Amino acid sequence: MDFFDLVQKRRSVRKFSTEKVPDKVILKSLQSALLAANSSNLQPWEFYWVKDKHKKNKLIEACFSQNAAKTAQELIVSVSRIDTWRRNKNLLIENYKQEGKLLPIIDNYYNKVIPYSYYHDMFGIAGIFKRCVSFFTAIAGFFRPVPRGPISKQDLFEIVTKTTALACQNFMMGIVAQGYDSCPMEGFDENRVKKILDLNKNTHVVMVLGVGKADPKGVYGDRFRIDEDLVIKII
């Protein structure tokens, strides 16, 4: 199917049929998700395919038992993390070394810039230090472009969550390309979802993705988009 046909076909399905989804469909879509563009190639995401019946029922409840969760044949939880950057950074560097491509600029970026940007501590001392540095950086910013973050833990979560959302879109496009449907859900009790998945405070649940075959009445209304002139600006 043509990419633009896929974009047109993808809809958020609120009610799924009882048709099963083959495991290979989910796996292929998850593998597509991992190919998504992401910040500094640090891949700060995790995808939890919840197959355990007890956990799945708990997850449905945590999603307020909405139809998109209750009728989904499969449920996948996308999670962004701010505590895997060091591991992933080291894996990247090792790959560069094996390929003989660890140039000084790459080594400097991953061993100096990334640790400074991503390091945080439980007391927020690193954030205070970065905020002080950013004050002087902002002064330099009057004369030239300068980096202005991330500073706080919240800034880091914004970066990794944007990245994970890109991966979710890849996943959903992979699902529709194989003839099935999905629904990205933001309506859930994050604390309960974290408890089900045994996640720590360095994680953020980005969305819960329901997957299945659309029920004939599973799409609630025609697609509506505001006029593109309101959101596409050519300057």
Buried/exposed code over 24-40 (b: 16+ C-beta within 10 A; e: otherwise): ebbebbbebbeebebeb
- All structural domains of the chain, each given as residue ranges with its CATH number in brackets, are 3-82+157-214 (3.40.109.10), 85-153 (no CATH)
Tell me: the pLDDT tens digits for 18-70? 999 999 999 999 999 999 999 999 999 999 999 999 999 999 999 999 999 99
Q: SS in 3 state form for 75-125?
A: EEEEEEECCCHHHHHHHHHHHHHHCCCCCHHHHHHHHHHHHHHHCCCCCCH
Tally of residues, the chain: 235
Distance, first Cα to last Cα, the chain: 34
> Quick one: average pLDDT of 195-222?
97
Q: How far apart are CA 134 and CA 60, in angstroms?
A: 43
Tell me: the pLDDT tens digits for 159-172? 999 999 999 999 99
Residue 114: what pLDDT? 97
Q: How far apart are CA 40 and CA 62, in angstroms?
A: 33
Tell me: the pLDDT tens digits for 109-127? 999 999 999 998 888 888 8
Structure tokens at 12: 């958020």
Residue 134: what pLDDT? 86
Residue 123: what pLDDT? 85
Q: How far apart are CA 34 and CA 166, in angstroms?
A: 10
Radius of gyration of the chain (CA): 21
Q: How far apart are CA 147 and CA 141, in angstroms?
A: 9
> Quick one: average pLDDT of 127-152?
88
Contact 208, 185 (CB under 8 A): yes
Torsion of CA 105, 110, 111, 115, to 10 degrees: 140
CA-nearest of 88, 1, 3 to 46 is 88
Eight-state DSSP code of residue 64: T
> Quick one: average pLDDT of 218-232?
95
Contacts of 38 (CB under 8 A, 6+ apart): 44, 45, 163, 166, 167
Place of tokens 């969305």: 207
Average pLDDT, the chain: 96
